[in-house]
Structure 1
Amino acid sequence: MILGLNLLRLLVQNRIAEFHTELELLSPAALENPCVKHAVELEQSFMEGAYNRVLSAKQNVPCKTFDYFMDLLAKTVRDEIAGCSEKAYDYLSISDACQMLLFSSDNELLEYIKEGHLEWEIKNGTVVFQKANESAPCKEIPSLQLINQTLSYARELERIV
């Protein structure tokens, strides 16, 4: 149970690389444990983007102690969806945002926006996302200079060898 809880903790913190490292250290017998299996199935669903499956997994946890982490995992899933939504859309209707973030009411969405300290605005029934990349100026990559420098390094290495 402790191994499963640790894996779930790493998943909640979105520390996927460490999750897989811990998973590789487990024995085949430990991998057959229902608690560990549950955490692995959640990670697979999370990575596939099957967020509905992740959220519905709260109904069939192998142990009551998993409930706490399942609530935290729901927030992690919503944060992941919110981050992707900001990058993919300029704005969404409130109903679409509720559906995308898996909320059952508009009030839950409004609370999430307030609690999450998101730079989103509600205007005329839509959620307007503030683009993070608008504030960062775009710099041109000096490609010709980089190519010449790389070729120069290659010539120097060839001389050395």
Structure 2
Amino acid sequence: MASLQKLSRDFLSAFDEKKYDNAAEIIPKLKLEFAKEGILSPTPKFDPDDLLAARQLMEMAVLVSIFANRTQDEVERLISEVQPFYSPNLGLPKSDNENKILGLYLLLALTNNRISEFHSALENIDNPEDDKYLNYPVLLERWLMEGAYDKAWKAITDTNQFPSKEFMILMKSSSDNLEATVRNEIALCLEKAYTSLPVHSAKYLLYLKSDADLQTFVAERAERGWQLQAQSLLFKTEVEKRIAEEDEEISVENNEEYLINSVLNYAAKVDVIV
């Protein structure tokens, strides 16, 4: 117990001084001492004060791992270890950090495309929209599903959108995943709604900063019929794609009707993007 008390003091001191790397190095030692006491599997048999102290330290371990830029796997592992302390069966008062920790878990599930886990976690949360930490991933997922890509893009790139610094750091480590997801969804909408776009419009709609970025993006979709000519981005039409995929002939009249239907079906999504 003396070792645990000293480790706790050292950990808290490093956290208060924002020496997050130092604090992160203490986490495995703390967990080892908790494991010896058996408190990492909390039950009502433990003294409530000990449970509260362990819960606080494990919550801080999650935050430290984020500030110290540890891997997402490490962060998630710590979150999974603190979640049992939120069980109503323990009879503990609600933690001020609980919604933040749960919100971070939701964000990790979303950015790694584990949508079923995301929704399963939400089923156990009452009124997530009423809490800023929970509302952030909930809105982000909703915008992605609805095709509100302008809102989703702002949520993952505008630092003022994040409910706390931990979310910003975690999103930064995951931004490639979500940015790629948003761009890919926009690309699907564009190629179904247009046969061509001016280069400057394509860059704007795809959130690409330069002609070189657009060239790379288009090259990755060459097999889908994307190509750059002069100052235009050209798409293979839906009819051409269907011919290539199904190897069937379609009359000119059907081509025109199919194109018109494609534009109408995706107009709503493109309006949202614009």
The two structures share one fold, judged by TM-score above 0.5: yes
Could you tell me which amino acid in structure 2 is paired with residue 134 of structure 1? I
| 1:100 corresponding residue in structure 2 | 205
Change (3 A) 1:40 1:94: same
CA distance in 2, matches of 1:134, 1:7: 41
Q: Report which of the two has the higher share of helix.
A: 2
Give the number of the structure with larger relative contact order, counting CA–CA contacts within 8 Å between residues 6 or more apart.
1
| 1:49 corresponding residue in structure 2 | 147
Residue 77 in 1 paired to residue 175 in 2?
Answer: no
User: In percent, how many aligned pairs have the same letter?
Assistant: 33
Partner SS state of residue 65, structure 1? helix
Partner SS state of residue 207, structure 2? coil
CA distance in 2, matches of 1:96, 1:69: 27
Change (3 A) 1:93 1:32: same
Note the alpha carbon deviations across 1:60-83, whole angstroms, 9 max, x for none: 323222222234211110000001
- 5+ residue gaps in structure 1? 140-161
What CA RMSD, in Å, does the superposition of the two structures yield over aligned residues? 2.8
CA distance in 2, matches of 1:80, 1:40: 19
Partner SS state of residue 214, structure 2? helix
Residue 129 in 1 paired to residue 214 in 2?
Answer: no
Residue 40 in 1 paired to residue 138 in 2?
Answer: yes
TM (norm. structure 2) is: 0.42
Partner SS state of residue 245, structure 2? coil
Note the alpha carbon deviations across 1:63-115, whole angstroms, 9 max, x for none: 2222222342111100000011122222222112112112232222122234x
Partner SS state of residue 136, structure 1? helix
Could you tell me which amino acid in structure 1 is paired with residue 242 of structure 2? N
CA distance in 2, matches of 1:43, 1:77: 11
| 2:256 corresponding residue in structure 1 | none
Asked if the contact 2:128/2:138 (under 8 Å) is kept, the reply is no
Residue 4 in 1 paired to residue 103 in 2?
Answer: yes
TM (norm. structure 1) is: 0.67
Question: How many pairs are equivalent?
Answer: 136
